Homo-oligomer: A and B are copies of this chain.
Amino acid sequence: MLIRTPAELGAILRDRRKKLKLDQSTLAKRIGVSRQWVIEVEQGHARAELGLILRALDALDIRLDAGTEQTPARRITKPGIDINAIVARARKKKA
């Protein structure tokens, strides 16, 4: 399963949790976070802490693999200008 966005990660976590028949409270205790945290991350919370995310994956026996690949048509979503940077700035200005 490829992960590109926080929302995708959240969906993966939720699916896996359900497959293991755990409720949010139990999982939260297992990870060492609050139930609130589980709810927000499953909903795709983009600013969740990396460390906690990794612990959540571990608690659910999900392995994370990083690969340098060649996925052909990948940069089509990247025009000349840098979308990511623009979004990043927008996020800040608005706030």
* Interface positions of A (Cβ within 8 A of B): 1-6, 9, 12, 16, 29-33, 45-51, 53-55, 57-59, 61-69, 71, 74, 82, 84-89
Known A1-B67, A32-B84; 16 more pairs at CB < 8 Å: A1-B65, A3-B64, A4-B64, A5-B51, A6-B51, A9-B50, A30-B85, A32-B82, A32-B89, A47-B50, A47-B51, A48-B50, A62-B67, A62-B68, A63-B67, A64-B64
Task: Give the docked Cα–Cα distance between A64 and B5 (Å).
Answer: 10
User: How many identical subunits does the complex contain?
Assistant: 2
Which residues of the partner chain B approach A12 to less than 8 Å between Cβ atoms? Answer: 66
Contact call A63/B54, Cβ cutoff below 8 A: no
